[in-house]
Structure 1
Amino acid sequence: MDRNGEPHKRFICSFPDCAARYNKQWKLDAHMCKHTGVKPFACARDGCGKSFCTKYHLERHEVSHSGAKSFRCTVDGCADSFTTNSNMRRHVARAHGQGQRTYACDVRGCGLAFRKNKQLRSHVCERHSALPPYQCAHAGCGMRFAFPSRLRRHEKVHMGYPCKEEGCAFTGKTWTELQRHRKESHRPVFECERCAKVLRDSWSLQKHRRVHSDVRVVLNCPRDGCGRSFTTVFNLQSHISSFHDELRPFACAREGCGKTFAMKQSLLRHAVVHDPDRKKMREPRPRRSLASRLSGYKPKKKATGHTESPETAEPRSNVSAVPQSLGNSG
């Protein structure tokens, strides 16, 4: 504890121009996700792919898969249950009025009551006062606010949000505009040391490194008698839906097209075909064998061919991993 009675914040962010500091290591680790983009706690559920900065957020997310509501209302006669303890306590306060403090307006003839003191103060300024007390001092503005915090937030509209990167003179009109600028102009470069490919964040780089691994896991089709295998969950799901279940529920709405797809992402990619801006079209990648793709070999750009799609993937033996040496035989 410091002299003011607050916890001593000895865990300090090491990034330049960041003054964040915390009293717990896990709080600093969660904060570092904002700088690095790394979210170390990944959901293990097949096909999910979501990851989080803290273990608590991961555990809270896992409830969405199980649907378990293990926190029952503590009030007698109420059978409601909730996924988290905080949701249960909020229900008790709102539905049963336990521990809920109200703030009543003392203006004669009003009688309104509010759950928060801030709501009461806002009500008094708007209904019973001529003008809110906090006025913007910027020339020609004249905006007034009931709370100083809202005035400070408003004043940033006039000052703007300057970029703090060295040598950058950009100033955003809004916080969102500044964040967009930082994302587009000052994004950290994550480059693969094996093939020099540039990824958008460290998590994507870590996922990409699997391409260069000596052994890479492939996904076998679980249907009896089917020997096909795929390198991504998306291609496997698309194969099962279109080939085995004969389900292609996503149809192109373009008049005269009529094409259908097993996955929504496939329909979104197909929509580019109807886009008048042909520059958005991507040239097809060269068709390569599974062993060649798993080897990590990067072909020259002038190579011609087609890429593997779930609908055209050729049958392969049921294997769980393919060694890198197979890349020289395909």
Structure 2
Amino acid sequence: MGERLQSKKSFVCSFVQCKAAFSKSWKLQAHLCKHTGLKPFSCDNCDKSFCTRYQLTRHELTHSGEKPHKCVVEGCSEAFVTNASLKNHMSRFHNKEKRYKCNHQGCEKDFNKRNRLAAHIFVHTKALPFHCKISGCTKEFPSHGKLKHHEKMHNGYPCEEEACLFKGNTWTEYLKHRKAHKVKLPCAQCKKQFGNAWFLNLHIRHVHSGEKRMFLCPKDGCDKKFSGRFHLESHVLGFHEGLKAFTCAVAGCEKSFAMKESLWRHGIVHEPSKKLKKPLKEANKLAAKFAKTNLNK
């Protein structure tokens, strides 16, 4: 048999000291969320946000009730929201893999992993099954995952910089400390400084290179051009498809918009003070959308 060819990881993270590389652009975009903290895909039905459109689409199924992953075994009508749930169903009911059964009287549940059974037993006994094994620590936890997270706190998070003896008690402490080692990258033309090469290159491209990529409307007969994907999407939804779901609530104003951000911007017309009190969440959304637009260029 021939060896399976591995896909070339051509999408490389440009953050300083990060060596991550990916075979697909959307995987790189999801990875960048770890550095920027931005989650550009927000659910309209709740306050959750996600790094990729796939994660958002999968989440939205929990609101719609749709279950696209159907069991293919003849005679089985089960369907699931995620592919992971379908695989769990296949292994539990059709593939007959080793099961760990609950011995509590009247309980017929079984599990494919011993740790899951131990976590389930807590329902019956109310005794936390996972104990910290570090000497002097008496903490207990309901799941193996929470135990592992706790054990990391004992080990701490040591700084990876050479000759630096810092060790954070939490991941948040470690991230705050790591900023002290970051070297600002200056722009050679205007001396403005940036935290990483990706933002520096983005700055050079849009401020000093003179390049300006235009996005053409894909609709036949329309020759409109836009400087960003956001404006293009707003044009297609509002002008061509007539989808303007976001209406101004101010009495006497009948304006409506295709994008939520456009409605927020319009609100400044009625309340100019909003311009100085821009909500952080909305600012993050706009920044993320801008970053996503330029990442795909």
Q: Which has the larger radius of gyration?
A: 1
Question: Structure 2 length normalisation: TM-score?
Answer: 0.49
Q: Counting helix residues as a fraction of each chain, which structure ranks higher? A: 2
Question: Structure 1 length normalisation: TM-score?
Answer: 0.46
